[in-house]
Structure 1
């Protein structure tokens, strides 16, 4: 038996497609066969499997588990929950180092996919392509694995609550906060979590519904924060917390309804971590504000810029021993007293702890950050076959001109006005760009420089 995946679903960081078009239960079965083959040939057998609240997820889970078992894996089915609960299962269960979460993350309801952990670390890039090669050759291990349900939710919630160790309950009791899970997979966890927390809590859209009737579960889109802002204002709460569909990205609004960008949120965490872990390394992706790197250094930490993508950040944190990482998209990675994977629920608990330890509300912490003039992420289509060639041509011209440039993931150019970034999307036929300055005039000059490079490659923004 052989299987061909649709060429568009094997992505850089995960496997993702549109159900009924590019993604079918047969793909889930084949993925299970290929992944279990990798696990078994590495001398292991146990695989944890979880799924999010999308309508297609239970069907895909059944097929995935069947495929895993057919290649000899013993499956621990943790059931419905956020992606970080799957990561926690792999990190905490005895003899488990591998896992798969079925999730469409923050994508439209008709999409779904798979995020994987292999040998305790992220599984991405060439490894994902290798799953396709195994399937196309039918090069699968044969076996008769087992499958059993396991309840890990209570242990996971207890571990989340441990993020408040050392924090006086009466200090949390004075805080008020809203939680919006957007009908995503984090809802049941938040309900249990809040039951164990002091303070005033307002819960929004916690029932799981894969059609996302309240709003789309993507906290990086400002319009999706409207209900959260309203709840914070009506309840006169200190801040609000928003989660994406699978609970690995966090959005925050302060008591005045202002949304914190992902890099601003990371600056708050950096201050808290570095006060307790002097000199720690903090990693942020190449899209991140220059103010973050300056802030980390000012606090006595080591700031490291790295490639965009949650898998890249997790891998670099393991390599360097960094205690904190983050992306502008709202992924937060805490490894000072946690596992180093992106867990928005744990980050939410740690934000509560940080507010108490730092002795200031989120609004005051935000006011203390430098005001920068930043573009949103600019996206424009370029043929898949051309996108990396464009980046290479831009890089070559900049090198010839002696530009101050970081080229680990596209090109990020620093000038007296600030910086601009141009990179190729790893998942779409797109180029993306961003720029930041301390003035509108400086930002305009940065965009002019970006446009000149694009024009030299025959592209208009």
Structure 2
């Protein structure tokens, strides 16, 4: 059949397509994927697809090949140009597009690139990505048609909508933004021009080489520049983005990092007074404190699988008003569209800080405390990682342990909890443990080590 192409199956990830440009992911792949995904849209009775791309050096060429593949399916292709992934989500939602594709490798190093998809207004992930790969290899596409391509500049409309949920007060905040050389650079510049207060942008230029630091705000060393600038400027808050600006990092006025689950407590307390009983979703890596605080504030906490596509799907199913992950993907369905958007989350964060009587650090320091390990990632072959987790789960079941198995194993004990899961994006296992005491944490780490050891895996020193 037409356009059969054997792509490297390692690029078919759980939530997206991602590989090393010109080693495992090629221009020809982008065309073939466009042809296959476009065929899915057509077979789904769709007509219109929106496309965008991030600031990586390889992104313009990949986007052009993708557009060519989509157009050959007979689709109307709307190119909104370079920008953050959430701007594509916004365009796809407001334009009622039948499909959407973002050329991006998110927070991965500069040599990577990939694609994120939406089909019929929903996340496209998991089995669908695998099936797309099979479709490409078979050349299973619709006959060539006459499509059309047009460019639309949506930046001003998107910025206006972002600003809508910022309530103006007499307080004028001083904010330091670390754009991390991400694809949000141009949007962020326009956004801060219309916000009150003083705004300092670091690494504002879109640069796919990421010269300042890796574009991942969950890694503390990537936030040092922001912490230093917040201190030097005596700013009220610091905000950082990842490479495509769908994940956020937040620093308070004293330089403390607010992790994803701590931010979720702040947002939950803001939303729930007007929406008692609302469902709020967090991933299995989140602190037990978050689930308890949501309950205290009158919400219905729901623990779910890690992964932005999985959380979005569960939010749509449960009509949750808020969702979030430790990775900094935060999803507002309260006043927003339910997708992960670090720019919008930044606006909601500033709106909350704007209304505080004191500094943000008062909130950070008043949050209930637990002692936890960082997220521990360690190598484990793709063909072994899931079976290790399965073996651990079976042993725990035999021991009649208190285990949650929605995504790996999360084990509750009197000392706290520990988690072991297989990464969906890397050849690795992921572990975390949390207790209210140092001794308790050591006991949890010992339990985790012992379970891994029984499966022939060694836990790195933590």
TM-score normalized with structure 1 length: 0.97
Name 1:4's counterpart in structure 2: 6
Give the whole-Å Cα distance in 1 for the aligned partners of 2:406 and 2:394.
14
Give the whole-Å Cα distance in 1 for the aligned partners of 2:10 and 2:156.
37
**1:170–1:198: 8 Å Cα contact kept in structure 2?**
no
- In structure 2, list runs of 5 or more residues that go unmatched: none
Name 2:322's counterpart in structure 1: 324
**2:81–2:151: 8 Å Cα contact kept in structure 1?**
yes
SS of equivalent residue, structure 2 residue 10: coil
Name 1:44's counterpart in structure 2: 46
Name 2:168's counterpart in structure 1: 168
Give the whole-Å Cα distance in 1 for the aligned partners of 2:25 and 2:382.
21
CA RMSD of aligned residues (A): 1.0
Matched, 1:115 2:113: no
Change (3 A) 1:315 1:258: same
Matched, 1:26 2:52: no
Q: Deviations over 1:38-96 (max 9, x none)?
A: 00001011000000000000000000000001112210000000000000001101x41
Change (3 A) 1:328 1:38: same
**1:219–1:250: 8 Å Cα contact kept in structure 2?**
yes
| Shift in Å, 1:368 | 1.2
Give the whole-Å Cα distance in 1 for the aligned partners of 2:193 and 2:274.
28
Name 1:311's counterpart in structure 2: 309
Name 1:202's counterpart in structure 2: 200
Q: Deviations over 1:390-413 (max 9, x none)?
A: 111111111111111100000000
Name 2:276's counterpart in structure 1: 278
Q: Deviations over 1:166-215 (max 9, x none)?
A: x23423x2x11111101110111111000110011111111111111122
Give the whole-Å Cα distance in 1 for the aligned partners of 2:129 and 2:238.
36
Matched, 1:144 2:146: yes
Q: Alignment partner for residue 72 of structure 1, among 71, 74, 77?
A: 74
| Shift in Å, 1:258 | 1.1
Give the whole-Å Cα distance in 1 for the aligned partners of 2:234 and 2:458.
46
The farther-off stretch of 271-280 and 249-258 is 271-280
Give the whole-Å Cα distance in 1 for the aligned partners of 2:187 and 2:219.
23
Name 2:101's counterpart in structure 1: 100
**1:262–1:330: 8 Å Cα contact kept in structure 2?**
yes
Give the whole-Å Cα distance in 2 for the aligned partners of 1:123 and 1:266.
25
Name 2:295's counterpart in structure 1: 297
**2:41–2:98: 8 Å Cα contact kept in structure 1?**
no
**1:272–1:357: 8 Å Cα contact kept in structure 2?**
no
Give the whole-Å Cα distance in 2 for the aligned partners of 1:298 and 1:80.
42
The farther-off stretch of 330-339 and 449-458 is 449-458
Name 2:225's counterpart in structure 1: 227
**2:51–2:101: 8 Å Cα contact kept in structure 1?**
yes
Give the whole-Å Cα distance in 2 for the aligned partners of 1:414 and 1:327.
20
| Shift in Å, 1:358 | 4.6
Name 1:15's counterpart in structure 2: 17
Name 2:411's counterpart in structure 1: 413
Matches within 5 A, 1:343-422: 343-422=341-420
Name 1:423's counterpart in structure 2: 421
SS of equivalent residue, structure 2 residue 190: helix
Give the whole-Å Cα distance in 1 for the aligned partners of 2:311 and 2:98.
19
SS of equivalent residue, structure 2 residue 444: helix
TM-score normalized with structure 2 length: 0.97
Give the whole-Å Cα distance in 1 for the aligned partners of 2:236 and 2:229.
11
| Shift in Å, 1:381 | 1.8
| Shift in Å, 1:28 | 0.3
Q: Deviations over 1:332-362 (max 9, x none)?
A: 1000100000000000000011123454422
**1:325–1:332: 8 Å Cα contact kept in structure 2?**
yes
| Shift in Å, 1:220 | 0.9
Q: Deviations over 1:223-257 (max 9, x none)?
A: 11122112211211111000001000000111011
